[in-house]
Amino acid sequence: MANIVPKPSKKYKTKRPTRDEFVLEELGEMLLEAKNEETKVDLTVWNEDEKVTGIIVNMDSRTQRVHVSTYDGVVKVPFLDIMKVDNAE
Summarised one tens digit per residue, pLDDT across range 51-69 is: 999 999 999 999 999 999 9
Residues of the chain short of pLDDT 70, as ranges, are: 1-2, 10-13
- 3 falls within a domain: no
- 31 falls within a domain: no
**Cβ contact 64:78 at 8 Å:** yes
Write the CATH number for 77.
2.30.30
Instruction: Check residue 80 and report its DSSP letter.
Output: G
- % residues pLDDT > 70 (the chain): 90
- 27 falls within a domain: no
**How many structural domains is the chain composed of?**
1
Specify the pLDDT at position 1: 55
Specify the pLDDT at position 84: 93
Query: Residue 46's domain spans which residues?
Result: 40-89
Specify the pLDDT at position 2: 60
- 84 falls within a domain: yes
**What's the whole-model pTM score?**
0.80
- 35 falls within a domain: no
73 φ/ψ sector (left φ>0, alpha ψ -120 to 50, else beta): left
